[in-house]
Structure 1
Amino acid sequence: MAGALAVFNAATSRFPESADIRLGLAGLLWQTGESEQAEQLLREWLAAHPADASMALLLASLLREHGRLTAVGEVLLSAFANGAHDVDTVIRAVETLDDYGRPNEALTICENAMAADDDDPRLHAYAGMLGIQLGQFERTRAHYARALQQEPAAVEWNIPLGLAGLQRYEDASHPDFSFFRDVLARSDITAYTRRSTLFALGKAHDDVGDYASAATYFRQANAMGHAHASWSRKLWKRNIQARLAAAKPTVSLPAPTDWTPIFVVGVPRSGTTLVAKRLADHAGVRNRGELGWLQVWEERLSHKSPLHAAALEEAARSLEMQLRQDDGDASWIIDKQPLNLLRVDLIMALWPNARIVHCQRNARDTALSLWTQPFHDQAHDYAYDFGDIDAVIRGCRQLAELWQARYPQAFRSIAYEQLVCEPDACIDALRDWLGMPLQSTAQPTDVQSVIATASAWQARQPVYTRSAGRWVHYAPYLPELLDIPGH
């Protein structure tokens, strides 16, 4: 590696204006742990060549590794404001920012490109997807309409599902109903688009109270998904049993004194998005959404036996960067990845001051909500089958009982039904338990709510109770629901 560095340094001196050599040297420095030198090299180049997208994207990746997501947004916004780029390069930047949880900057780059007369339908489709996360529902509809007007094949870009999530339909005369049926009548769409459009049409009929039709469309969609699902009920049960049987970790780190990690967990569709959003209304809180870093580190640490404090310290440093980031000095940081419920032992070993908010909902309502919601991640392939869903719910409840007994001071359950009936009282009680001053309940005006989950529309509406007991409407059409415990 030292030899390669010497070669690149020599080449850089000889060819100082070679972007490829500079890019290679920066990448090599990063690989060898010289991140500061790599960053300096990239920033120097960008100061002289501010529109160099390749350099900006490499710098963005480096910054992201260190949790500097605000800096990522600044770097890419600057690069894409300083020159024209082809649409593929713009899309690469947009996808990078979206993957890194920066939809505001991604949408700005999209809209800047379109304002510069790049009317590519793909940009409109991306702008629509990002607009959903940011709550810009009317603008999203306009972007989707423009994409479909330009390119009939745009229907393959998740547009039916996106449209269905923009509102609650009031009656079946809405033109989206006809649009969804027209899509399903086409013979040239992919199986994925057919399945997602069936979910969209099911959701539309659910909105207007036509539960018989909704059940029919949802059943067709789930049958298609289940036919290709890779999820294993047997492996899930083994995983749960192994976690239940595992001893409490014997190694733990000192608790940080200046911040508190909060993990909002539970079976997906049990209210985690709503709880995290309401808690994050507090000025001292940041909601990071559904991070995947804890699972990554759990897998890495699983290869270290016995587990030593040094390995935990490395994990804690890395995870803290991703949680705290570079957007202020919040005292409470939320990770609302629901299935971090599996990793409470690891959480408590890393941060003994962590708090686990466990969301629990009526099992039949949870099962129905999962079954009627399309997921893009294979990790949720269980949601196509009520038997698999039942296994997930039972396993999660077993773990919740274990964690409650093992960490009674750090683990607190909240019932979805109580939350939607008495939202202010429930959230105030949680804030009191978390040690948040109740009088400070307003986020800074520059913090925009981002919701990248299936609850993007619902979580922005006033809290309602119509989803509590929703399963009763479907019981005549989905008898499988009655095989799931009714509590």
Structure 2
Amino acid sequence: MSQDAVALLKQFVAALGRNDREGSNEAAFALLAMEAELGKKWHQVAKVLQTNGELTSANKAMRLAVAQTGRSPAMRFEQSAMLAQTGRIADAVDVMRKLPEEFPTPAGHAFIMGTMSVNLNKLEQAEHFLRKALQADPASGQAMLVLANSRKRKQGDPIGDEIVAGVNRVAGAPLIEQAQFHYAAGRVHFDRRETDRAFRHLARGAMLASLERKYDAGRDAEVAQATIDNWPLDAIAKAPQGIGVDTSEALFVTGAPRSGTTLVEQILASHSAVRGGEELGRLPLVARDLANNSAQALQDYSARKSPDTLSELFLHLGRERFPGEGKFVDKALNTSRYIGLLASILPQAKVVWLRRNPMDCAWSIFRTYFVKGQDFSWKQEDIAAYLRIEDRLFEHWSKALPDTILPVEYEALVADPRPQIERILDFCGLPHEDAVFAPHENRRLVTTASVMQVREPIGTQAVGLSDPYSDYLEPFRESYFAD
């Protein structure tokens, strides 16, 4: 390694220690420009660049990692993971196909190929790989879970039968694998309208998951309230005055999990003027450049740098994921915690905020296994606490920023889609197009828990879905409606 590379690597590490996004990027970009001989260290550089939202450079760093480690299977596997995590699923599949089928393990290889096939809407291929994963590891709860969620497993479906018969196979598996199995079995029984069995499995899975992943409702409520208190409306009104960049390409869709956000994202992404959308979550990354998430911190920052800086950063990060012309959609579920920042630095951005019947929403949350985040979903009382927090944020921000936020009722959207979709398009400044009224025909990449639902025509089948489970949801009802 050259002396210049050593110096830049030290600069990179020092910037990480200061939590300095700009400094770590600057050093990493310089190392990339000289294609420094970092060997496997390029993997760590790539992960930092990914965390910083610099997806193009992250993938370039991974290419160097592969080249400088003799194209080892381990590094090519990491390259595939990076490609998948940055939205390049087809490229990730190509890399995985060239790896030995036993890498990282026979079950792991097949599971990853199956999961990516689901994302690409290649369901028969997905089932082939996922069943192969189960043959290699009969206790793979995660493989059963993806199989259960990839399509409805009604009576007589052999894969559904295989899943529900798997309870003894997972008895000695790690807790998280057991939890995933119970969510899978619960989903199969739900599809078969076997109410008691469905709930028993889901409750068991939630209990097991809660042992490893905790939620602090009190702390969440404090953070949410601070996002209101720390962003006075007069400060938000003044903040955009110095911003000259056009921020209208940024669209946001938010709401509680399972409230219809993926459906609206799919509708918008079907428009020819929208180049894509997913749970980008770039506002927290932008907020890292501030001392904290507050109007005062933004004012202090703006005293040192151009008011356009953070606006341009957010748009750059969006373009990193969705290059090209047109608008893009950020469907991050935590947007409600950053509305003050959003309105201050992205004055032309629009937010579509989904609302859904709380009983249906709670039941849909409870029966969904979230791979990361949403740790309130394991307990009905925590779901109630979370939804009440979201209600408070919605009530405040929707009244304070009516030109920025458009409330949409899920039930109204699915009952009579056309007027609601037209309302969304008008609010987002998009002309009406036929494609948005048939969003299920859009075969774009979808990676959220709603991947299969958005492949179906818009309908009311999910309205009242909690009704058969009303008695089981009494803990939620008592907590949510208590006053």
Alignment TM class, shorter chain as reference: 0.7 to 0.9
Report if aligned partners of 1:370, 1:383 keep a CA contact under 8 Å in 2: yes
1:97 and 2:83 correspond: yes
**Which of residues 335, 340, 355 in structure 2 aligns to 1:340?**
335
Distance 1:178 1:401, change over 3 A: same
1:291-370 correspondence to structure 2 within 5 Å? 291-303=280-292, 305-308=296-299, 309=302, 310=304, 313-325=308-320, 327-370=322-365
Distance 1:62 1:475, change over 3 A: closer
Report if aligned partners of 1:255, 1:351 keep a CA contact under 8 Å in 2: no
Q: Deviations over 1:21-42 (max 9, x none)?
A: 7995996897482555433212
Q: Percent identity?
A: 21
Query: Given residue 347 of structure 2, which amino acid in structure 1 is its aligned partner?
Result: P
Query: Given residue 363 of structure 2, which amino acid in structure 1 is its aligned partner?
Result: L
Q: Distance in 1 between matches of 2:371 and 2:204?
A: 17
**Which of residues 207, 217, 225 in structure 1 aligns to 2:209?**
225
Q: Note the C-alpha offset of 1:128.
A: 1.2
Distance 1:385 1:355, change over 3 A: same
Distance 1:79 1:339, change over 3 A: closer
SS in 1 for 2:283: helix
**Which of residues 163, 186, 193 in structure 2 aligns to 1:202?**
186
Distance 1:75 1:235, change over 3 A: closer
> 2:261 maps to which residue?
272
Query: Given residue 189 of structure 2, which amino acid in structure 1 is its aligned partner?
Result: H
Report if aligned partners of 2:422, 2:432 keep a CA contact under 8 Å in 1: yes
Q: Note the C-alpha offset of 1:480.
A: 2.7
**Matched pairs, number:** 458
Distance 1:343 1:184, change over 3 A: farther
Q: Note the C-alpha offset of 1:221.
A: 1.6
Query: Given residue 415 of structure 1, which amino acid in structure 2 is its aligned partner?
Result: E
More deviation, 185-194/330-339: 185-194
Q: Note the C-alpha offset of 1:103.
A: 2.0
**Which of residues 272, 281, 293 in structure 2 aligns to 1:283?**
272
Q: Note the C-alpha offset of 1:64.
A: 4.7
Report if aligned partners of 1:263, 1:355 keep a CA contact under 8 Å in 2: yes
Q: Note the C-alpha offset of 1:426.
A: 1.9
Q: Deviations over 1:34-55 (max 9, x none)?
A: 555433212x98xxxxxx9858
Report if aligned partners of 2:80, 2:92 keep a CA contact under 8 Å in 1: yes
Distance 1:65 1:368, change over 3 A: closer
Report if aligned partners of 1:268, 1:338 keep a CA contact under 8 Å in 2: yes
Q: Note the C-alpha offset of 1:268.
A: 1.0
Q: Note the C-alpha offset of 1:238.
A: 2.0
Q: Distance in 2 between matches of 1:144 and 1:466?
A: 28
Report if aligned partners of 1:160, 1:180 keep a CA contact under 8 Å in 2: no
SS in 2 for 1:33: helix
Query: Given residue 159 of structure 1, which amino acid in structure 2 is its aligned partner?
Result: A
Gaps of 5+ in 1: 13-20, 46-51
TM-score by length of 1: 0.82
Distance 1:140 1:348, change over 3 A: same
SS in 2 for 1:454: coil
> 1:110 maps to which residue?
96
**Which of residues 382, 401, 418 in structure 2 aligns to 1:407?**
401
Q: Distance in 1 between matches of 2:68 and 2:31?
A: 22
Q: Deviations over 1:285-331 (max 9, x none)?
A: 13331123312333542448543224664433332221122754333
Structure having greater relative contact order (Cα 8 Å, sep ≥ 6): 1
Report if aligned partners of 1:66, 1:321 keep a CA contact under 8 Å in 2: no
Query: Given residue 404 of structure 1, which amino acid in structure 2 is its aligned partner?
Result: S
**Which of residues 431, 436, 445 in structure 1 aligns to 2:430?**
436
Report if aligned partners of 1:67, 1:325 keep a CA contact under 8 Å in 2: yes
More deviation, 247-256/60-69: 60-69
More deviation, 73-82/265-274: 73-82
Q: Distance in 2 between matches of 1:65 and 1:466?
A: 38
Q: Note the C-alpha offset of 1:84.
A: 7.9
Gaps of 5+ in 2: 16-22
Report if aligned partners of 2:186, 2:202 keep a CA contact under 8 Å in 1: yes
Q: Distance in 2 between matches of 1:321 and 1:327?
A: 10
Q: Distance in 2 between matches of 1:26 and 1:440?
A: 52
Q: Note the C-alpha offset of 1:72.
A: 5.7
SS in 1 for 2:462: coil
Distance 1:339 1:41, change over 3 A: same
Q: Distance in 1 between matches of 2:322 and 2:467?
A: 45
Q: Distance in 1 between matches of 2:44 and 2:477?
A: 53
Query: Given residue 433 of structure 1, which amino acid in structure 2 is its aligned partner?
Result: F
Query: Given residue 98 of structure 2, which amino acid in structure 1 is its aligned partner?
Result: N
Report if aligned partners of 1:265, 1:359 keep a CA contact under 8 Å in 2: yes
Q: Deviations over 1:157-198 (max 9, x none)?
A: x11111111101221553333334324444321111111111
Q: Note the C-alpha offset of 1:87.
A: 3.1
Q: Distance in 2 between matches of 1:222 and 1:326?
A: 33
SS in 1 for 2:252: strand
Distance 1:262 1:91, change over 3 A: same
Q: Distance in 2 between matches of 1:476 and 1:32?
A: 53
Query: Given residue 219 of structure 1, which amino acid in structure 2 is its aligned partner?
Result: A
SS in 2 for 1:142: helix
Distance 1:119 1:187, change over 3 A: closer
SS in 2 for 1:297: helix
> 1:238 maps to which residue?
222
**Which of residues 112, 131, 147 in structure 1 aligns to 2:117?**
131
Q: CA RMSD in A?
A: 3.6
**Which of residues 405, 419, 422 in structure 1 aligns to 2:416?**
422
Report if aligned partners of 2:133, 2:143 keep a CA contact under 8 Å in 1: no
Distance 1:139 1:22, change over 3 A: farther
SS in 1 for 2:150: coil
Report if aligned partners of 1:279, 1:285 keep a CA contact under 8 Å in 2: yes
Distance 1:53 1:281, change over 3 A: farther
